[in-house]
């Protein structure tokens, strides 16, 4: 099972998906892929867990990834 952790003003949200070949899993994967794409378009950083550590990720969505994190840019002023 994979997941995306989205850090936001409310703390964080978690989106999870399964890699089983079911309609529900395909729908959840499509939602996760859209969320990552929209986050990148909005200027958020995306990290992916690789070998137990998170690294900044610019690649295409990998439904077999264990975990992604989305971090919104910090606004100053």
Domains and CATH numbers, the chain: 2-71 (3.10.20)
At which residue do the structure tokens 């959840």 appear? 28
SS (H, E, C) 53-75: EEEECCCCCCCCCCEEEEECCCC
φ, ψ (nearest 5 deg) of residue 25? -65, -45
Phi-psi region of 11 (alpha: psi -120 to 50; beta: other; left: phi over 0): left
Which pLDDT value is given to residue 76?
A: 65
Q: Is the pLDDT of residue 46 over 90?
A: yes
Radius of gyration of the chain (CA): 13
Q: Work out the percent of the chain whose per-residue pLDDT is above 90.
A: 71
* pTM of the predicted protein model: 0.84
């Amino acid at each position: 099972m994979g997941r995306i952790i989205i850090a936001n003003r409310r703390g964080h949200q978690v989106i999870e998906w399964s890699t089983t070949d079911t309609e529900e899993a395909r729908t959840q994967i499509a939602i996760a892929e859209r969320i990552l794409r929209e986050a990148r378009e909005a200027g958020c950083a995306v990290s992916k867990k690789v070998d137990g550590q998170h690294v900044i990720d610019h690649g295409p969505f990998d439904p077999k990834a264990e975990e992604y994190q989305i971090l919104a840019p910090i606004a100053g002023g």
